[in-house]
Amino acid sequence: MSQTPVDSAAGPTATARPVDPDTRRPHDARRTDGRRPHPGLVLAVLATSVFLSALDAFVVNVALTPIGEGVGETSLSKLSWILNGYAIVYAALLVPAGRLVDRYGHKSGFLLGLGVFTAASLGAALSGDLWVLVAFRFLQAAGAAVLTPASLGLVLTTAPPAKVTRYVQIWAASGSLAAAAGPVVGGLLVQLSWQWIFVLNLPIGIVALVAAVRLLPAGQHGTDTRLPDLLGGALLVVAIGALALGLVQAPEWGWGAGATIGSFVTSAAALVLCLVRSARHAVPVLDLDLLRDRVFAWANLATLLFYTAFGIQLLGITLWLQQVWHWSAIETGLGVAPGPAMVFAAASLGQRLARRVPVGVVAATGSGLVALGAAWMALNASTSPEYATAVLPGWLVAGVGVGLALPTMISSATSGLPEGRGATGSAVVTMAGQVGTVLGVSVLVVILAAAGPDDSPAHTFSLAWWISAAVMAASGLAALGLTPRRHPGTTGDDRSRRQPRYRSPS
C-alpha cells in the first residue's frame, strides 16, 4: 500500500520482479579480497537499503503538512512537488539507471545510488526553503533509481542458487515492512521536527555504505557497452513534470491561461519527442516493442490507473485526518498504518489464489476491494472524528485489495516476455506506477483547490474518494486483460500458472 521505489513493489509493496537467475549470476561472486561474502550478510545490507528508500516514501506522505508548516508554505499545489518531484525523476531514470549499472557493475552502482540518496537526505534535512527541499528530493529519487536495480542485481548474483527465489522475496518484503512502519515512524519523528524524517536516513545509510564496501563482491561489468537514451529520459521528465505543473497550477492560473495551456503543450511535445526517440534509439527509455505483448500492455494500463486512484486515496486520507479532524502527526501515522499492514498477508494470499484462479481475476478483485474501500470512506465522510466506523473498515479492505492486485499486476506483466526483455519490462511497469502516482496527487490537488468557500470538507473529500473509486474500478477492468488467451491445443492457462522467474528491474 505504498508508492515506493520498490514497488514492485509498491512499493509498496515491493514486489519481486520475475527473472532467470542463471542468466544473471557471475561465475564466482567474491569480495575484492578473494573471499566469498556471507550471503545472509549481503542480503541484510541490500534489504536495509531498500527498506530505507521505501520508508522515506511513506514518512514524507504523513509529514507533508508539518513540512509545509516548517518551510512556511500552505499551498498544497506547491507542497505536492515534494511527492511529485520524487516520483517524476524516479520514473524517468529507472530504465536508464538499470542499463548503466548493468554496464558498469552492480556494486559501484549500489554504492553510488546509496551515497547520493544519503547525501541528498542530509541536504533535505538542512533545507529551509520549499524549492531547495524539492531539489534535494530530485537527488534522492536519482539515487533510488540507481540503487533499486543495483541492489536486486546483487541479490541475484550473491544468493545461493537454491535460495534465489527466497532471497528475492525477502528483499521485496523489506519494502512492505517499510510501508507498514513508515506512517508510525514518520508520526513519531515529526513530534521532534520534520527534519528528522530525513536525518533518520543518515546513520542507516552510512552504516549500509560501510558494510557494502566491505561485504559486496566486485561483480562483473556487462558486455553491452551501449549507453541508454539519457535524452529520452530527460524528455520523459519534462513530459510528466509539465503535465503535473499544468494540473496543479491550473486552479490558480486559470484553465484557459497561457501558462496552463503552455504547460500542457510542452508536455505533449516532450512526450511525442520521447516516443520518437524511443522508436529509433538502440537502448530506449521506453521499449515500444514490448507493448505488442497484449498482457504487458494491459498490465501497464492497469498499473497506471491503479496508482492514479491510490495516489488520490492515500494522500487524501492523510490530509483528511490532519486538516479536517486536526489529528497530530503521530495520530495520523497510527491511523494510516493498518492499511499497509494488511498488504503483506494479502499478497501471500494472492500468490496462492493465482495458482487456482486466472491472474486477471485476482488482480481485478484486488482493485475492486480498493475501490470498495474508497467508496466506504466517501459514503461515511464526516467532520466528526469517527475513525472506527468512517475510515478503518474501508482502509482495511483497501489494504487487502492492494496486496491482491499490485503484486499480481507487476509479476504477471513480464511473465510472457521474451528472454532478456523481462528486466526492462518490469522497469517500464514500475515507471507506469510512478507516473500514476504523479497524476493521482495532481488530481487530488485540483479537486481540493476547486472547492468553494461554501463547500464542506466532507463533500470535497468525498468527491475525491468517489473519483478514486471510479478510476480504481477502471483499473480492475483493465486487469482482466492480464489473463492470457488460450491458444488452440492448450489445456490451460500455462502462462498465469507457471512459477514466476525473477528479473532485475534494469
pLDDT tens readout for residues 391-402:
999 999 999 999
Say what the pLDDT of residue 27 is: 40
Range of 103-107, 124-128, 232-236, 453-457 with top mean pLDDT: 124-128
Average pLDDT over residues 249-275: 93
Residue 490 has pLDDT above 60, yes or no: no
Summarised one tens digit per residue, pLDDT across range 280-314 is 988 888 888 888 889 999 999 999 999 999 999 99
* Whether the predicted pLDDT of 360 surpasses 90: yes
Fold for the domain defined by 9-228+283-497: Growth Hormone; Chain: A; (1.20.1250)
Q: pLDDT value at position 262?
A: 96
Residues 125-148 as b or e (16 or more Cβ within 10 Å = b):
bebeebeebbbbbbbbbbbbbbbb
Report the alpha-carbon distance of residue 103 to residue 109 in Å, rounded: 10
Q: With contact defined as beta carbons under 8 Å apart, do 329 and 191 qualify? A: yes
- Position 338 scores a pLDDT of 92
In contact, 431 and 94? CB cutoff 8 Å: yes
Q: CB burial class (10 A; 0-12, 13-18, 19+) of residue 34?
A: exposed
Mean pLDDT lowest among 6-10, 170-174, 301-305, 396-400: 6-10
Closest CA to 375 of 469, 503, 473, 251: 469
User: Where is average pLDDT lowest: 8-12, 293-297, 339-343?
Assistant: 8-12
Cα separations (Å) of 129 from 136, 409, 452?
A: 11, 39, 29
pLDDT at 223: 57
- The CB-based long-range contact list for 81-85 (8 Å cut-off, 24+ gap) reads 81/130, 81/134, 81/137, 81/248, 82/130, 82/133, 82/134, 82/137, 83/3, 83/315, 83/437, 83/441, 84/241, 84/244, 84/248, 84/437, 84/438, 84/441, 84/442, 85/134, 85/137, 85/138, 85/141
The secondary structure of residue 37, as a DSSP letter, is: P
Q: Does residue 161 register a pLDDT over 60?
A: yes
* Model pLDDT, residue 496: 40
Least confident segment among 10-19, 204-213, 448-457: 10-19
Tens digit of each residue's pLDDT (9 = 90 or more) over 56-88? 777 888 889 999 999 999 899 999 999 999 989
Task: Quote the CA–CA distance of 370 and 335 in Å, as a whole number.
Answer: 17
Distance CA 242, CA 263 (A): 5
Quick one: pLDDT band at residue 417, thresholds 50, 70, 90? confident
Question: What's the pTM value of the predicted model, to 2 decimals?
Answer: 0.85
pLDDT digits (tens, 9 = 90+) for 206-227: 999 999 999 888 765 555 667 7
At 353, is the secondary structure helix, strand, or coil?
Answer: helix
What's the mean per-residue pLDDT of the chain? Answer: 84
Cα–Cα distance for residue pair 409/359, rounded to 1 Å: 8
| pLDDT reading at 6 higher than 60 | no
Helix (H, G, I), strand (E, B) or coil at 400: helix
What's 220-272 look like in SS3?
A: CCCCCCCCCCHHHHHHHHHHHHHHHHHHHHHHHHCCCCHHHHHHHHHHHHHHH
Beta carbons within 10 angstroms of residue 220's beta carbon: 15
Whole-number pLDDT of residue 225: 64
For 21, 33, 154, 243, 490, the CA distances from 212, given in Å and listed in that order, are: 22, 14, 11, 39, 48
